[in-house]
Structure 1
Amino acid sequence: MPVDVIKQIYKPTMTVGQVYARAYGTLAQPMPVGNVLELSVEHSEDVQTQEDMTTLGGGTHAEVRRVKEVKMKAKLADLNVVNLARSVLGTVEAIGAGAATDEPFVATLGGLLPLTHISPTAVAVKKGATAGAATPVPMAGNYEVRPEGVFVLADAKDITESDKLWISYSYGAYAAIEALTTKAVELQLIFGGLNEADNGKPVVVDIFRASQGVTKALTLVGKGFNSLDVEGTVLMDPTKTGAGISKYYRTRMS
């Protein structure tokens, strides 16, 4: 019975669970964001006090407390395309598989030739003043194929400094995320929690409307797992109405 839940006193809490998100104000289905290492809602207050001037020793005669701001903070472990794009205020372009023909370069021994597309396969390098007159250069002893492009060996046998090179290759489908090209997204978040300290009982938290700001840092090289630390503001949802109905967030638990 609901009354039994309300009267519970023993309620140690250690929650795990899934976090779902969708763009605020849309009818899209909330989608899992992946492994979330930390998720919190933090409140800050504006406290106005009036001194008690009626007696010796002072004190507080009156006080008014108002919530000034509600912050949402999260640590995302899965750097998938959606999470990364939201966290760097980026736009996503889906690049289909294809082939590139005769991309032009000028050789630098011991340097990288950065190709237009990543993870090239079936790479063919030619050398010559024009693509039509160029002749093939064997890979062995001259260059390495890397995900980021073609690396010319410092002691290449058949390539000299400033040679004109032409590179053809195939590539698979991938996503390109252009950072800092859009505004912060507003999300509806749902936390489907399970309380490990109380027999796995459910704790469901709905954050009706929250902004998500840019990540504090994007670690590219590090000794541990990467994560995205993001935060935003829990905003008023004007669609929530009625006495005792929050416009910000709610918690449901058994």
Structure 2
Amino acid sequence: MPKLYTYNGKGQLYVAIKGSGRFVPLCNIEKLAFTPQMKDEELLNTQTLAGGQLDVVTEVTGVEIAIGGISQYSPDVLSLLLKGASTNVAAGTATETVKIYRNCLAPVSKPIDWSKPVTVKASAGAKGTVKDLTEGTHWMRSGAGIRVLDVAALLDGDPVDIQYTSLAISQTEALTTPNVEVELQFEGLNAADSGNPVIVRAYRCRLGAGGLDLLQSDGFSKSDLSGKLMMDPNRLGVGLSQFFTVMQVQ
């Protein structure tokens, strides 16, 4: 008698740019679903008032992909979610000229390493009387730069030079690669079958942008992705799927 399966799935989903062979993990996800879309061609009975179908042909029109509950954001995952590309930017010293406004943030281009010295000086074109702005008196630390304090001697719109050392960062430029074709590899484990593997390979996919929830009132941030699984014309042979393959342990 053939083995009867039930399925309670766990596992890892890996994504690779088509043909690259570099499968990166999406880490912790809550949902992965492939849903074939069908279309019926019906031959209706027009011979009697009873009507009904004389025949029907069902065709596959596509396969939809849903990836839900993505909750760990490596640079590779961010690149996939935001349709962008990530690069590593090394730490380094920088001097930036920004305009200051009292009670406002003056952002710089990279996160500041506050373990290193930071100096804020009025630029050559500044009109205020304060030339050396001191921490705690004229400004305070902030995540994206400095927060300018409400000090009467400071003039709104004055330029200042901020000299600092930046932290090493990963930087993702969003929506720069909108139409990347990918492959999917699911490395599943069937908890209802003694933890035996269930391997699923999808050969040619396009995924939409998933976005990023930057503020959550409760719980962890989670993102979703959806897309289409397309036919792979390079998979030829009798009985070979051009969409996806599922492997279970006997």
**Deviating runs (4+, > 6 A) in structure 1?**
none
- The alignment-based identity, stated in percent, is 28
The counterpart of 1:13, out of the listed 7, 31, 34, is 7
Q: Indicate the residue corresponding to 1:35 in structure 2.
A: 28
Query: Could you report, residue by residue, the CA deviation over 1:93-146 in whole angstroms, capped at 9, with x for unpaired residues?
Result: 322111112x22232100111102123433211135359xx8432202321222
CA distance in 2, matches of 1:93, 1:204: 31
After TM superposition, list the pairs within 5 Å mapping 1:55-94 onto structure 2.
Answer: 55-75=48-68, 76-94=70-88
Q: Indicate the residue corresponding to 2:136 in structure 1.
A: 140
User: Unaligned 5+ residue runs, structure 2?
Assistant: none
CA distance in 2, matches of 1:162, 1:19: 50
The number of residue pairs the alignment matches comes to 243
Q: Indicate the residue corresponding to 1:23 in structure 2.
A: 17
CA distance in 1, matches of 2:118, 2:153: 16
Q: Does 1:152 align with 2:180?
A: no
The counterpart of 1:228, out of the listed 223, 228, 240, is 223
The question of whether the paired residues in 2 share the 8 Å contact of 1:104 and 1:165 is answered with yes
Aligned partner of 1:80: which letter? Answer: S
Secondary structure at the counterpart of residue 67 of structure 1: strand
After TM superposition, list the pairs within 5 Å mapping 1:1-254 onto structure 2.
Answer: 7-9=2-4, 11-26=5-20, 28-75=21-68, 76-101=70-95, 103-121=96-114, 122-129=117-124, 135-154=131-150, 156=151, 159-215=154-210, 217-223=211-217, 224-254=219-249
Q: 1:59 to 1:150 in 2, by over 3 A?
A: same
Question: Residue 251 of structure 1: CA displacement?
Answer: 0.5
Question: Residue 92 of structure 1: CA displacement?
Answer: 2.5
Query: Could you report, residue by residue, the CA deviation over 1:6-52 in whole angstroms, capped at 9, with x for unpaired residues?
Result: x123x2211001111211122x3422221122111011111111112
Aligned partner of 1:240: which letter? Answer: R
Query: Could you report, residue by residue, the CA deviation over 1:188-245 in whole angstroms, capped at 9, with x for unpaired residues?
Result: 1111111112221211111111111112x42121123112211111111122111101
CA distance in 2, matches of 1:73, 1:82: 19
The question of whether the paired residues in 1 share the 8 Å contact of 2:24 and 2:76 is answered with no
Secondary structure at the counterpart of residue 229 of structure 1: strand
User: Unaligned 5+ residue runs, structure 1?
Assistant: none
The question of whether the paired residues in 2 share the 8 Å contact of 1:70 and 1:233 is answered with yes
The question of whether the paired residues in 2 share the 8 Å contact of 1:137 and 1:158 is answered with no
The question of whether the paired residues in 1 share the 8 Å contact of 2:92 and 2:166 is answered with yes
CA distance in 2, matches of 1:187, 1:129: 52
The question of whether the paired residues in 1 share the 8 Å contact of 2:75 and 2:170 is answered with yes
Q: CA RMSD in A?
A: 2.2
